Structure 1
């Protein structure tokens, strides 16, 4: 079977969509299938093309047996609604054109978060008369409303009409959460064509390891209890709560025991750094995005992992993929997200759940993890056990069975 996968995020980018797509495609190649990925020049999250790449009309490479076709797109930093839409649309157009020239495909996959990539997959499937699958990673454009990035308008209403059209036209939908599936069914989409394949973890990479001594010394973390957030610093993540908690923890304890590490980039990072400097919040360490291999070294520094999203009902339906990486590395989680993901944290007994955007609750959880040694040991030990339930290899093969089934349908 020849699988054509369209995505605007792919390694060497290190965000969740890029990692999921790469790890799934790698497993499909191992299973004996041909995989072609159409993507753009790596640039997320800074909106700058990575070293060794160029934003040119077309370029090709092989990666773990995957044939990668990179196309030109309008590249911008992850800020400003209009610029982001231009970015998405340019990739939709260029990706569609490039995909048309990929020969002898059996099934097309288009992945969100935004649905313009799914638009491209739909058009390619229609032109090539092949079934297409919508991999649903985010309820977009509803997430725009959730973070307040755009006011209610006829534009948003029109985008939602396109969204529903794509759901109806897809041969199958692969949702990353049960909550997304329930939402689509409530909106009139046939439930029998929606499967749930959650995010997961490559247990061979994210496994227990000692703290990286060089990084401990570089960031002066000896004898410190380190709570870290690793990921995008965007509107959705409300990371001002972490700065509030850093100030509060210092005030509550009167000491210098705790450090908060924020690694990544995004639309809000500059403002967070400016605020920390202006208010003298000196127990927060900011680190720019690092390579995939380096990320694991930074994970090793953490005594607790911070996962946080803005307090809004939409985010009760998401499952942040980094929680599975924490499980694999035996890092207890301070989880500031309600809903489906919180239930997994509690079910697997791998962390403490706190109310989103509640700095006092975050602080209380942090102190509890540091001071209750029996609880901390239990949460650490439960991590790898829980991670086995979300092994990326197993999940990739579940999705492969869906693609094999869909590839047999007539268009």
Structure 2
């Protein structure tokens, strides 16, 4: 069998860091990658991005259009935009595999693909739908989500997809175990490829001015998209227990919806934390290395749920690589990784007081702080918690099926 892979992504590209890393590893192993994804306004419909041939589909540039397509997909399991495009593409070109990124496009691919279809589950999608929209206020959006994006419907979608896929790629061991328990599949049908980071992440330049305003203060940072499942509300509330330590500041850096920002701002005001907790909102991705590097502590405070117990963020390994201790909640993959590497502290998810105690430990215990930071860097740079090691699993998987 050959080495041409067609990837499908129900989002624009380049934005997804997992797609980027997987593509790069496969390209280095001399696979050819074509990626079919959504188009933003004014993007080229075909171009090469980092060695990947990217084909973009018009027709979902507005939020309304994307919403209608997603509702149709929920009812029929088929995305008509991708279905038409793929039928035309397969009539003109040949591929050896289809690699579907995340759950929604699986049956669209399965219905038209003449070659094996691999399903790459970035996260526990059915459970994620239960928490992603928790802070949305618009009653029409809430009704739409209850009707079309409810857990029972998408759990059945997932179970059927996992059974029909030629192979499944899971993001953490906990996700694989969950799928095996729910479907009764053989273990060798699922390969775990986790969201670890390339060592070259450390080759970026640091801008020492990013936190100039907070010079001399103890900076606790959350970096990344902000939403209901990410536990940032617990982080805000934790600072109410640390009011006597005025040099500790929490910075929340990342994109969030208007509803999310409004909710978090109300928490800051209710707890009298103005000047102690700041919502920075969106910042360019290239600055995030500097934010992590210049913070005293990087924190991943995810609320515990079926979603967060079965996925893991890239930023955990990024934060570990910069050699600073991390604080994570007790979600299973986070807790397992941090305890195994001895790279930080764990607090009980959604327990703001416990989180405040862990922040205070790192603030007060200098030797512990240094030891955890050293361990974090050692696990990712000298150990096997990096993409160089993890990416080989994906290459070996495709190489096995190519023979």
If the length of structure 2 is used for normalisation, what is the TM-score?
0.85
Residues 297-324 of structure 1, C-alpha deviation per residue, up to 9 Å, x if partnerless?
Answer: 2222211111022233553233222111
The verdict on how the C-alpha distance between 1:75 and 1:352 changes in structure 2, with shifts beyond 3 A counting, is farther
Q: Which runs of 5+ in 1 are unaligned?
A: 42-48
Distance 1:209 1:383, change over 3 A: farther
Matches within 5 A, 1:43-122: 53-54=41-42, 59-74=45-60, 85-86=70-71, 92-100=79-87, 101=89, 103-112=93-102, 115-122=103-110
Moved more, 344-353 or 395-404: 395-404
Cα offsets for 1:61-111 (capped at 9, x unmatched): 21111111121253567x9x9679449769933233333416221101112
Pair 1:400–1:258, CA change in 2 (3 A): same
**In angstroms, what is the RMSD of aligned CA positions?**
2.9
Closer, same or farther in 2 for the Cα pair 1:205/1:277, shift >3 Å? same
1:193-208 correspondence runs (5 A): 193-206=189-202
Summarize the alignment of residues 276-295 of structure 1 with structure 2, pairs less than 5 Å apart: 276-277=268-269, 279-282=271-274, 283-295=276-288
- Evaluate the alpha carbon distance shift between residue 221 and residue 59 of structure 1 in structure 2; reply closer, same or farther with a 3 A threshold: same
Distance 2:387 2:83 in 1: 28
Asked if 1:271 is matched to 2:227, the reply is no
Change (3 A) 1:249 1:85: farther
1:261 counterpart = 2:251: yes
After TM superposition, the score normalised by the length of structure 1 is 0.83
Work out whether residues 35 and 53 of structure 2, in 8 Å CA contact, stay in contact via their aligned partners in 1: yes
Looking at structure 1, the residues matched to 311 and 205 of structure 2 have their Cα atoms a distance apart, in angstroms, of: 28
Q: Indicate if the aligned counterparts of 1:227 and 1:258 stay in contact, CA closer than 8 A.
A: yes
- Matched residue, 1:141: 126
Are 1:129 and 2:114 an aligned pair? yes
Shift of 1:392: 1.3
Structure 2 Cα separation of the partners of residues 236 and 281 of structure 1: 22
Hey, what does 1:46 align to over in structure 2?
Answer: none
- Higher mean alpha-carbon deviation, 307-316 vs 62-71, is at 307-316
**Mapped partners of 2:30, 2:391: distance in 1:** 13
Alignment deviations for residues 181-234 of structure 1 (CA, whole Å, 9 cap, x no partner):
111111122322111111100211146976x332122xx110011111112211
Alpha carbons 2:127, 2:306 under 8 Å: kept: no
1:393 aligns with 2:388: yes
- Structure 1 residues 67 and 227 mapped into 2: Cα distance closer, same or farther (>3 Å)? same
1:145 positional shift: 3.4
CA offset at residue 370 of structure 1? 1.3
Q: Which residue pairs with 1:30 in the alignment?
A: 28
In structure 2, distance between residues paired with 1:71 and 1:87: 17
Please state which structure has a larger fraction of its residues in helix: 2
Task: Tell me the number of residue pairs that the alignment of Structure 1 and Structure 2 aligns.
Answer: 379
2:344 maps to which of 341, 351, 360: 351
